[in-house]
Amino acid sequence: MARKPKGRRIDGVFLLDKPGGISSNAALQRVKRIYGAAKAGHTGALDPLATGMLPICLGEATKFSQFLLDSDKRYRTTATLGIRTDSSDADGEVIERKPVPPLQREQIEALLQQHFSGEIEQVPSIYSALKHNGQPLYKLARKGVEVEVKPRRVRIYEIRLLALREQELELEVFCSKGTYIRSIVEDLGLLLGCGAHVSQLRRLDTGPYRESMMMTLEQLQALAEPRDGDDQECIQARLDQVLLPPWTAIATLPALELSAEQAKRLQCGQGCSARFDLRGEVRLFVAGTEHFIGVGEVSEAGLLRPKRLMSTAPAE
Question: Where in the sequence numbering do the catalytic residues fall?
Answer: 47
Phi first, then psi, for residue 109 (nearest 5°) are -60, -35
In Å, how far are 21, 132, 136, 284, 292 from 206, measured between CA atoms? 21, 26, 23, 22, 22
**C-alpha to C-alpha distance for 112 and 161, rounded to whole angstroms:** 8
The separation between the first and the last C-alpha atoms of the chain, rounded to the nearest angstrom, is 22
Contact residues for 56 (Cβ-Cβ < 8 A; gap 6+):
13, 14, 15, 16, 27, 28, 31, 32, 40, 41, 42, 43
Q: Are 272 and 299 in contact (CB under 8 A)?
A: no
Angle, to 10 degrees, between the axis of helix 217-224 and the axis of helix 24-35? 20
- Sheet with strand 280-286: strands edge to edge: 255-258, 280-286, 292-298, 304-309
Residue 95 is inside which H or E element, if any?
Answer: strand 94-97
Q: Are 221 and 238 in contact (CB under 8 A)?
A: no
